[in-house]
Amino acid sequence: MKKFNFKILNRDGSARVGEISTPKGNISTPAFMPVGTAATVKAMLPSSVRSTGAQILLSNTYHLMLRPSAERINALGGLHKFMNWDGPILTDSGGFQVMSLSGLRKITENGVNFKSHIDGSKHFLSPERSIEIQKLLGSDIVMSFDECTPFPETKLRSETSMQMSMRWAKRSVEAFGERPGYALFGIQQGSIFKDLREESAKKLNELSFDGYAIGGLAVGEGQDQMFRVLDYAPSQLPEEKPRYLMGVGKPDDIVGAVERGVDMFDCVLPSRSGRTGQGITRYGAVNLRNARHKNDPRPLDSECCCPACSNYSRAYLHHVIKTGEIIGSMLLTWHNLHYYQTLMNDLRQAISNQNLSKFVKDFREMQSSGDIEQI
């Protein structure tokens, strides 16, 4: 079986262009992974997602374990067959969702006891069970089980949380075992504290993961604080392995993180925004619910070749969104995912051409200029 592999092809400062090789296909980095929480990217067919340029999807351990269950998906041929996606799939460990349940869960050294947000049924998730679920799903990239430290948090509590996540990381490695062709990523924690993140990185490096995620960000700390952490966190992780910033994010967040050496991203923003009438464009976010678009015959973005921009006007998008037609969610989600993949391709080209600084300057000027003038 083809091995999981990562190679760096070009650099510009701290930014890298690379390629991840998996048995299910290659992934060009920096890469954005559309989120298919419950075995579907909402409002999109897998072939439509693929047409945007996406090479890998993210799916969710927590939601799939609750319904339809990992065992059922495994019996039906695995997650790839179940959702009709033949490319690589990364699954998160379920840790973030479980930690978000707050009053519905209890954390111990063994794992987390929690109640389902769906029906109140009781469940237990541990490093071993999380890895087992991800194996049953057939995930190509498996995430170790961790506790996502909330923000804000004291340094003492952040250290306690990080240390437990490191113990859970070791148990995740042991549960994963030897699986040629599949990859296991460790997750760095430590909140906003440099020394804690350094310690976390050292402990993870000792376990020799196939890749490393930067966890505990995009949890309310704001972009300035996130970038301050990213000024040092990526360089604390192995140079030769892919680096994944979990749950990010907005286009400007992604661009800033790429400048600082991050290779992989995921976020629900493009699909969630598409379902709520917001288009993400070169000029920033555009609210298609706004009445200013109701008589506008122009496309959402004249330089975009997605179906929404190629075949429909702003006036039409405004109409189907205001009337709640399903096609509104479909078209805007398609556009937003297409925009994200175009952005990633543009970043890869800029890095390869040693032109990233100019690209970032032009990108931020365009984003701050605002939407085109109203007719």
pLDDT digits 0-9 by tens, 176-230: 999 999 999 999 999 999 999 999 999 999 999 999 999 999 999 999 999 999 9
Average pLDDT of the chain is 96
The pLDDT assigned to 199 comes to 98
**What percentage of the chain reaches a pLDDT higher than 90?**
93
Distances in Å between the alpha carbon of 64 and those of 39, 127, 257, 292? 8, 16, 29, 41
What's the average model confidence in pLDDT over 36-55? 97
pLDDT at 98 over 80: no
The pLDDT assigned to 255 comes to 98
pLDDT band (50, 70, 90) for residue 45: very high
pLDDT band (50, 70, 90) for residue 97: confident
What's the average model confidence in pLDDT over 18-42? 97
The structural domains of the chain, with segments of one domain joined by +, span 5-267, 273-368
The pLDDT assigned to 105 comes to 87
Looking at the domain 5-267, which fold is it? TIM Barrel (3.20.20)
pLDDT in tens, 344-366: 999 999 999 999 999 999 999 99
The pLDDT assigned to 100 comes to 79
User: DSSP of 188-218, one letter per residue?
Assistant: E--TT-HHHHHHHHHHHHTT--SEEEE-S-S
Whether residue 137 contacts residue 59, with contact meaning beta carbons closer than 8 Å, is answered with yes
What is the pTM (predicted TM-score) of this model?
0.97
pLDDT at 300 over 80: yes
Q: What does the block give as tokens for 151?
A: 């923000």
What's the average model confidence in pLDDT over 16-20? 98
pLDDT at 20 over 90: yes
The pLDDT assigned to 94 comes to 86
pLDDT band (50, 70, 90) for residue 103: confident
pLDDT in tens, 233-271: 999 999 999 999 999 989 999 999 999 999 999 999 999
pLDDT in tens, 149-185: 889 999 999 999 999 999 999 999 999 999 999 999 9
Q: What does the block give as tokens for 153?
A: 């948090």
**What percentage of the chain reaches a pLDDT higher than 70?**
100
Continuous segment of H or E residues that includes residue 156: helix 155-176
pLDDT band (50, 70, 90) for residue 14: very high
Helices (H), 17-121: 46-51, 61-66, 70-75, 79-83, 95-99
Catalytic residues: 92, 266
Distance between CA atoms of 18 and 120, rounded to whole angstroms? 44
Whether residue 207 contacts residue 173, with contact meaning beta carbons closer than 8 Å, is answered with yes
DSSP 370: -
